[in-house]
């Protein structure tokens, strides 16, 4: 028959069951409950961390939206200010053109007649009063003299204006006095 080969021995470690202390009994339900509480606490901590980060992100988003709105508002205000400035410049240019009698003369030529001659007289008087100011070639001393001369002209004109206003007030008063006298005489 056959020779039987010896079977190799399988090494089995000595497994010793864990020793349970004699005085205590293990409560597997208690261990399971503690593990579940620990897992629940970790999960709640993760959820709170998530909500905190989400809250911060929402605050950042709101601040970013506010900044965008403010920048948009500022951009619109700058655009409106630029448009207003352009409109003002256009109006000033049109006004200065009118002051140089360009538009003035065209209007007066259309109307013609007596008004035209009065306007021509007014233009002539204004051109005599308003002399061209050539100061480009003047030295500093001559510029000072010219400034003094112009100041004296303004002073004289203001004095004349004041005198005329006072004369106007006096004449208005005299007219009122005379009207009152007339009305008093008519009553009698």
The pLDDT tens digits of the residues spanning 135-157 come to 788 888 988 998 999 999 999 99
Task: Give 66-111 pLDDT, tens digit per residue.
Answer: 999 999 999 999 999 999 999 999 888 877 776 665 555 555 555 5
Encoding tokens for residue 132? 């061209």
Q: 95 or 3, which is more confident? A: 95
Q: Where do we find the tokens 């256009």?
A: 90
Query: Which among 152, 145, 104 is positioned nearest to 126, based on CA atoms?
Result: 104
The pTM score is 0.32
Q: Which residues contact 157 (CB under 8 A, 6 or more apart)?
A: none
Task: Return the pLDDT at 2.
Answer: 53
Residue 29 CA to residue 51 CA, distance in Å, equals 32
Task: Return the pLDDT at 155.
Answer: 96
Q: Where do we find the tokens 């349970």?
A: 20
Query: Which among 109, 134, 141 is positioned nearest to 123, based on CA atoms?
Result: 109
Contact of 143 with 135, CB cutoff 8 Å? yes
Task: Give 8-64 pLDDT, tens digit per residue.
Answer: 666 666 666 666 666 566 678 888 889 999 999 999 999 999 999 999 999 999 999
Residue 41 CA to residue 113 CA, distance in Å, equals 103
């Amino acid at each position: 028959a056959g020779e039987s080969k010896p079977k190799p021995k399988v090494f089995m470690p000595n497994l010793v069951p864990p020793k349970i202390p004699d005085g205590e009994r293990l409560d597997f339900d208690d261990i399971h409950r503690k593990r579940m509480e620990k897992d629940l606490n970790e999960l709640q901590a993760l959820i709170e961390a998530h909500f905190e980060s989400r809250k911060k992100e929402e605050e950042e988003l709101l601040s970013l939206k506010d900044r965008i709105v403010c920048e948009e508002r500022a951009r619109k205000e700058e655009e409106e200010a630029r448009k207003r400035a352009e409109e003002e410049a256009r109006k000033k240019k049109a006004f200065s053109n009118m002051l140089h009698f360009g538009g003035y003369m065209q209007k007066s030529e259309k109307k013609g007649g007596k008004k035209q001659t009065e306007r021509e007289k007014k233009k002539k008087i204004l051109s005599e009063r308003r002399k061209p100011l050539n100061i480009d070639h003047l030295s500093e001393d001559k510029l000072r003299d010219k400034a003094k001369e112009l100041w004296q002209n303004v002073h004289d004109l203001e004095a004349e204006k004041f005198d005329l206003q006072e004369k106007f007030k006096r004449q208005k008063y005299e007219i009122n006095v005379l009207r009152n006298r007339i009305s008093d005489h008519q009553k009698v």
